[in-house]
């Protein structure tokens, strides 16, 4: 996790934004009076929201844990994917 003050961020915005998106860094932008802001990539944000949704719904969470348990116990089947052409 990186921390940068607002002035430094403003002067080097592209560099820091590239670091956040390309290196999956989370950045804390420090501001006066401890009114800090966190910067993350859109991809990280979407992942965070998806995880919050799955973990926030007991039925989804239980299903996910059961699926993980089955996989770890070798209780799964492998299937070939069916390829669909773009014409359909």
First to last CA, the chain: 46
Rounded alpha-carbon distances, angstroms, from residue 19 to 15, 38, 47, 49, 87:
6, 14, 18, 21, 40
Quote the percentage of the chain above a pLDDT of 90: 69
Domain interval for residue 51: 43-72
pLDDT in tens, 41-69: 999 999 999 989 888 889 988 998 999 99
Q: Is residue 48 part of a domain?
A: yes
Average pLDDT score, the chain: 92
Residue 39 banded pLDDT, cuts 50, 70, 90: very high
Say which CATH number the domain at 16 has. Answer: 3.40.1620.10
pLDDT reading at 88 higher than 70: no
| 3-state secondary structure at position 68 | helix
pLDDT in tens, 5-17: 999 999 999 999 9
> Do 34 and 58 fall within a single domain?
no
Domains of the chain: total:
2
């Amino acid at each position: 996790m990186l921390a940068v003050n607002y002035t430094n961020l403003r002067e080097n915005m592209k560099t820091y934004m590239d670091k956040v998106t390309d290196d999956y860094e989370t950045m804390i932008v420090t501001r006066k009076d401890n009114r800090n802001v966190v910067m993350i990539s859109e991809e990280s944000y979407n992942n965070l929201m998806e995880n919050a949704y799955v973990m926030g719904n007991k039925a989804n969470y239980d299903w996910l844990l059961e699926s993980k348990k089955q996989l770890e116990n070798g209780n799964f089947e492998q299937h070939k994917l069916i390829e669909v052409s773009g014409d359909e």
